[in-house]
Amino acid sequence: MTPHSSTPQHTWVYRRVALPILALLRRGASPQKLAWSLAVGLLIGINPLLGSTTVVCLAVAFVFRLNIAASQLANHVAYPLQLALVIPFIGLGTRIFHTQAMPLSPSQLLHAAHTAPVALIRQLWLWEWHALILWAALASIAIPAVALTLTPFLHRLLTRVQHHQYPLIPGT
């Protein structure tokens, strides 16, 4: 048996998500604070205002004295989900607030940009504002739900970490 065959091969998720969380638990982060930090990062990470999540997440973590590293980790892991949810948030916002539907064809958007750019910018901000309102309503409910769901899991994980059942480096 070669030395490399006994070394476990870990997935990207394990190396980039699980190990940093384990490291935070080993350094004394409380499961409750870590759960709230992850929940805040995850839910801020899906807000429909592209380009805002890092700064908003940093500010919220600072104000509420959350673990900044954990909140940023969850924020960045949520990025693909943010991209996937932008259009659904805007679409739902147009239905709930009874505004003009967003044209999804590039030719329609280009035509609007050439013929009435100021009106298009106003309409884009209106769609974005409505999407942000929906996201804020979702986040206000989901952040506590996610945090309360993660807390018992992180308590169990902390117990295992304290008993050295989850080493940070294979073979330690």
Contact partners, residue 33, CB within 8 Å, separation at least 6: 66, 67
Residues 75, 54: contact at Cβ < 8 Å?
yes
Unique residue bearing structure tokens 């609007």: 112
Q: And the tokens for 88? A: 């659904």
**pLDDT in tens for each of the 172 residues of the chain?**
444 545 556 676 666 666 667 777 667 678 899 999 999 999 999 999 988 999 999 999 999 999 998 999 999 999 999 999 998 999 999 999 998 887 767 788 888 889 989 988 898 889 999 999 999 999 999 999 999 999 998 888 878 777 765 555 454 4
Contacts of 91 by beta carbon, 8 Å cutoff, 6+ apart = 101, 102
Rounded CA separation 97/171 (Å): 57
Look at residue 8 in the predicted model and tell me its pLDDT: 57
**pTM: predicted TM-score of the whole model, two decimal places:** 0.78
Query: Which two structure tokens, joined as six digits, stand for 4?
Result: 């490399």
Q: How many residues does the chain have?
A: 172
Q: What are the residue ranges spanned by the domains of the chain?
A: 14-162
